[in-house]
Amino acid sequence: MSDIESQLKLIRRGCDELIVESELKEKLRSGRPLRVKLGVDPSRPDLTLGHTVVLRKLRQFQDAGHVAVLIIGDFTARIGDPSGRSETRPMLSEGEVVDNAATYLAQAGKVVDIERAEVRGNAEWSAPMDMAELLRLASSATVAQMLEREDFRARYQGGHPISVVEFLYPLFQGYDSVAVRADVELGGTDQTFNLLMGREVQRAYDVDPQVVLTMPLLEGIDGTRKMSKSLDNWIGVSEPAAEQFGKLMSIPDGLIVKYLRLCSALDPGEIARIEAGLADGAVHPNEAKRLLARSIADLYHGPGSGAEAEARFDLIHREGEIPADVPEIALPADAVRDGRVWLPRLLVATRLAASNGEARRAIEQGGVRVDGEVVADPDIELAADQLAGKVVQVGRRRFVRVR
Please give the span between the terminal C-alpha atoms of the chain, in angstroms, as a whole number: 57
pLDDT score recorded for residue 151: 83
Residue 71 has pLDDT above 90, yes or no: yes
Q: What is the mean pLDDT of residues 7-12?
A: 92
Dist. CA 394–CA 363, nearest whole Å: 8
The CATH superfamily of 328-402 is RNA-binding S4 domain (3.10.290.10)
Dist. CA 388–CA 181, nearest whole Å: 60
Where do you find CATH 3.10.290.10 in the chain?
328-402
Residue 45 CB burial class (10 angstroms; 0-12, 13-18, ≥19): middle
Phi, psi of 71 (to 5 degrees): -95, 115
Each residue's pLDDT tens digit, 72-112 = 988 888 776 665 544 555 666 777 777 777 888 889 999 99
Number of neighbouring beta carbons within 10 Å of residue 317? 13
State the number of CA atoms in the 13 A half-sphere of 93 facing the CB.
Answer: 3
Each residue's pLDDT tens digit, 184-231 = 999 999 999 999 999 999 999 999 999 999 999 999 998 989 998 777
The CATH superfamily of 241-317 is Tyrosyl-Transfer RNA Synthetase (1.10.240.10)
pLDDT score recorded for residue 79: 74
Dist. CA 330–CA 371, nearest whole Å: 16
Where do you find CATH 3.40.50.620 in the chain?
4-215
Query: pTM to 2 decimals?
Result: 0.78
Dist. CA 218–CA 50, nearest whole Å: 5
Where do you find CATH 1.10.240.10 in the chain?
241-317
CATH of domain 4-215: 3.40.50.620
